[in-house]
A = this chain, B = another copy of it.
Amino acid sequence: MVAPNALVVGTVTLIYDHHTRLLPEKLTDLQHEHHHVIISTLHAHLDHNSCLEVVVLRGKSKDVQTLADLLISTKGVQHGRLVMSSPQTAAHHH
């Protein structure tokens, strides 16, 4: 429904155990490779093991979706969800 080149904003919420082997490194590497669509990332250390991370994204719909898919499908991520604004809304603001 959203054109691949439409400008969107969104968030990806991730919950994971930071002790999972190489998981934090993989998530960080993915974010740096795609840093042009990331505004910033908020990390909450929920307890000794688990983290909630929210990545705030802005860019072309296809690039935001690609990064979200990569992050959410990384082995060890327990819960992941993309929230993306409609292009109408984003267009209205730019």
Binding site for B on A (CB under 8 A): 9-11, 13, 15, 17-18, 24-25, 28, 31-33, 35, 38-52, 54, 56, 58, 78-79, 81, 83, 85-86, 89, 92-94
Contacts and interface: CB of A to CB of B under 8 A. Distances in A.
Question: At the interface, is chain A mostly helix, strand, loop or mixed?
Answer: strand
Contacts of A10: 13
B31 A45 contact: yes
Contact of A83 (B25, B31, B81, B93): B81
Contacts of A79: 85-86, 89
A41 B43 contact: yes
B49 A93 contact: yes
14 contacts: A9-B52, A11-B11, A18-B32, A32-B49, A35-B45, A35-B48, A42-B42, A42-B54, A42-B56, A44-B58, A47-B93, A50-B93, A79-B85, A79-B86
